[in-house]
A and B are shown apart, each in its own frame.
Chain A
Amino acid sequence: MSGAFTKSMARNIFYGGTVFFFLLFLALSFDTHSQLPKRDMRQNITPQVAEGKKLWEVNNCIGCHTLMGEGAYFAPELGNVVVRYGEEGTKAFIQARPKEGIPGRRSMPQFNFTDEQLDAIVAFLKHVNSINDANWPPNSQG
């Protein structure tokens, strides 16, 4: 079968196809960027929210919890925790964690946050909850 299957053809398609789909991906990403301001509530990102995100990160909360479904699956979703527990309830929960854990149970560490830090964390979680994420999670249990 006279060259019915050439390697150079396959190679050209590989390069062409990759560039093609990457460009398409860039186009979609570009459109996403123009749409995001309508969904991500960026106008509400105060310094306090930013501080909350930082605290979220440096304490590696995502190592146990999920946020909008992403993270570890050891502990509850927190993107909607302010709906589940309320702002004060969320703060009280974080504050009340026993240092040595609860015998036999999964336990959250005691992080010894100050009141300002707790406010910032809750402000961040409240912000995440306000993001238009296509109505996820299905119910308040996350």
Chain B
Amino acid sequence: MSNTTSLPTSEAPAARRLPGDLAIWVFILSEMLVFAVFFAAYAFARAKNVELFNEYQQTVNRDLGALNTFLLITGSWFVVRAVQAAHRDDLPAVPRNILLGFLCGGGFVVVKIIEYAAKFGAGITLSTNTFYMFYISLTFFHFMHVILGMVILAVIWVQARKGAYTSRDAHGLESGAAYWHMVDLLWIILFPLVYVMR
């Protein structure tokens, strides 16, 4: 695996390099910055209302959250397998694994909708209290990222079926995979922060 954070160097193509496009890393970093600020705001707000946060944290569905964590990690695993398949030129395995990753994302969306339906059905909105404001804002913001990640996976799937990604050039695949891993990573921070930690 060439999974490293060193910058690409034009002189030594064989050296350890950044997978995917540099451009996608600019955006991944800025997206992570947005979430980082959001998480910091959450921590700040929680510190001022610990009791309120602890009380309402009991009301969120941790089981569904855990199920979603499992789905996203599994999805990431399939995406990794797709990249590996491309690197060893196992072309049919690439779209298959991407599709499986996409389906995991779809599972996440379904579970999330069930979770939201229960909350919105109970009349909870962004304005209910500070905890729910953060709960809905963070999870919905992330939810939209999952959907965007799925759109990207779908595009990559179409390309992969045409055999676009090989050991010689897998930049597009790696870029999309990197984005999907970011979506996963953000959830792995978000889930304990909002659902579990108290």
Q: Do chains A and B touch in the complex (CB under 8 A)?
A: yes
Which A residues contact B (CB, under 8 angstroms)?
1-6, 9-10, 13, 16-17, 20, 23-24, 27, 31, 34-35, 38
Contact assessment for B13 and A24 in the assembled complex, using a CB-CB cutoff below 8 Å = no
Closest Cβ of chain B to A35, distance in Å, is: 5
Question: Chain A interface mostly helix, strand, loop or mixed?
Answer: helix
Contact assessment for A13 and B144 in the assembled complex, using a CB-CB cutoff below 8 Å = no
In the complex, chain A residues whose CB is within 8 Å of the CB of B125: 31, 34-35
Contact assessment for A35 and B23 in the assembled complex, using a CB-CB cutoff below 8 Å = no
Contact assessment for A3 and B171 in the assembled complex, using a CB-CB cutoff below 8 Å = yes
Contact assessment for A13 and B126 in the assembled complex, using a CB-CB cutoff below 8 Å = no
Closest Cβ neighbor of A23 among chain B residues: B144
In the complex, chain B residues whose CB is within 8 Å of the CB of A1: 8-10, 13, 17
Asked if B103 is at the interface (CB within 8 A of a chain A CB), the reply is no
Select which of B21, B23, B151 is within 8 A of A16 by beta carbon.
B151
Mark B73-117 against chain A: 1 for CB-CB distance below 8 A, else 0. Answer: 000000000000000000000000000000000000000000000
Asked if B32 is at the interface (CB within 8 A of a chain A CB), the reply is no
Contact assessment for A24 and B8 in the assembled complex, using a CB-CB cutoff below 8 Å = no
Per the bound structure, the CA–CA distance linking A3 and B13 in Å amounts to 12
Select which of A9, A13, A35 is within 8 A of B127 by beta carbon.
A35
Mark B5-38 against chain A: 1 for CB-CB distance below 8 A, else 0. Answer: 0001110010001100111100100000000000
Given contacts A23-B144, A24-B141, A31-B125, contact A2 B171 (CB under 8 A): yes
